[in-house]
Amino acid sequence: MTELVPAPRGVVAGDGEVRLTERSRLYAGPGTEGAGHWLGAVLRQATGLPLREGREPRDTAGGIGLALDPGLGPEAYRLVSDHDGVLIEGGDAAGAFRGAQTLRQLLGPDAYRRAPLGRDRARTVPHATIEDAPRFRWRGLMLDVARHFMPKEGVLRYLDLMAAHKLNVLHFHLTDDQGWRIEIERYPRLTEVGSWRARTKIGHRASPLWNDTPHGGHYTRDDIREIVAYAAERHISVVPEIDVPGHSQAAIAAYPELGNTDVVDTASLTVWDTWGINPNVLAPTDTTLRFYEGVLEEVLELFPADATGPRGHSAFVHIGGDECPKDQWRASDTAQKRIAALGLADEDALQSWFTGHFAGWLAERGRRLIGWDEILQGGLPPGAAVSSWRGYGGGIAAARAGHDVVMCPEQHVYLDHRQDAGPEEPVPIGYVRTLEDVYRFEPVPAELTPEEAGRVLGTQANAWSEVTEDQARVDYQVFPRLAALAEVAWSALPAPAERDFADFERRMAAHYRRLDALGVAYRPPTGPLPGQRRPGVLGRPLDGPPPHR
């Protein structure tokens, strides 16, 4: 009963239980049909019960009813389980769906299986009244599918895992130096050339190890449509990221004219096979601007903004903007002439102009630009938002300047960072970030005023994939820490030092059984299993506590 993750705002336990039977029905009232369809499908699998459709609310005696109560607010819900059955009321369709996720938890770990294990499994709901609502509007996970490609089925699986934890934004990192993962019809070489690399560095970039098997893959336009539709059914927005002007060697390898041709022989460049900050960046030319406008036209078509979607996040398009070395621009006569023609101070201002161009282009089409906190350098147009990754500083500066912020500081919620200091931790990257560390992460800096704090849309965890080459490695790095991040984002928790981590661990003991049923290869609390270790693969561990800011 009290083993829910993330923790709801209020739970009043009752006496008794609702027992689902062959006669139990599922009624989904107006506006909750999607949640009803999803709930019926998963529960029929797990219980073997028919759960026939109820035609009217009174059909839910001894069964399950879904309804709307707009007075509850966005994504909020109320779940009442008593002698009449189970009633879930949502403040909107998303709230009804969030409540359905809580009901699944109440039914026990077997409710997460795809076939029934027995007649009495996953069929009883304890009597209770649960009132719940999210703390933040943006509760996300960034999946990097550019460094190591995640097949479509893996992305759909992660959308289910996000939904199970009441997350509502998938930040989809689709392009980088090491691969271009989205089909663009007018520029076919982006995937014909840009989605494959000849080999891959194993471990940190200083490692001497290589995998000489070509690596690649991409999502077709219909794959993207399917992913977006699947996410929408789960009230998750998908925010695509198309990196500019750095992290772009895969695109330059496909179309050499996009690079700084007066400085580098861009025709000789290939898709990058190692990690780190790449010097080959886009040229600040009209050719580049028109090319990426063409890319973004197709991106906007494939990722439509849905005003009825989860909190309007589908209006955002992420343009990266991080880690853009300026050496080629300093050496480029073309770039220097552009700086002079625009009357700009320097190369940082040139990137600001580049960002501003696409912010305006997107705004003209009813969309919003979001980028990593480097886009603050040189100023940011109104309406643009910031993903604060280099600590809290960028987010604080953005909020004080009137920009919306998603807090995702590397030192706290980068899930590719190691989970323990022990020698058996696979490919140790960055600072140690334990489950408890993530649970005590606070997205809103104390120094912000209430008005500035209101600019913090929420938070997300980032799962970079340089050292996570397959689904099992992604699972290991992401779970169980994503469950802690989900509670930070959803639940009304006290200050970090006052959070009851012992209670969270107690609830996680039950939650691990749910993850087991879902087939998640999480890191066990006792440490990595033998097959999860990567002996001899060089990482980049950083010792000591991470900087707070």
- Residue 504's identity, in one-letter code, is F
Residue 176 known to be catalytic:
yes
Containing 341, the helix (H) or strand (E) segment is: helix 333-342
Cα separation, 394 vs 377, in Å, equals 10
Which stretches of 275-353 are assigned E, i.e. beta strand?
316-320
Containing 541, the helix (H) or strand (E) segment is: strand 540-541
Cα separation, 212 vs 197, in Å, equals 10
CB atoms within 10 A of CB 297: 13
Phi then psi dihedrals of residue 111, to 5 deg = -70, -10
Cα separation, 439 vs 441, in Å, equals 6
Q: CA 384, 387, 391 angle in degrees (round to 5)?
A: 135
Phi then psi dihedrals of residue 179, to 5 deg = 170, 145
What radius of gyration do the chain's Cα atoms show?
24
Ramachandran category for residue 170: left, alpha or beta (phi over 0 → left; psi -120 to 50 → alpha): beta
Q: Are 376 and 368 in contact (CB under 8 A)?
A: no
Q: Are 459 and 136 in contact (CB under 8 A)?
A: yes
Cis, bond preceding 6 (omega within 30 deg of 0): yes
Cα separation, 518 vs 528, in Å, equals 19
Cis, bond preceding 480 (omega within 30 deg of 0): yes
Contacts of 450 (CB under 8 A, 6+ apart): none
DSSP character at residue 365 = T
Residue 323 known to be catalytic:
yes
Residue 247 known to be catalytic:
yes
Q: Which of 218, 247, 313, 417 is catalytic?
A: 247
Phi then psi dihedrals of residue 241, to 5 deg = -120, 120
Q: Which of 131, 226, 323, 516 is catalytic?
A: 323
Active site (catalytic) residues: 176, 247, 323
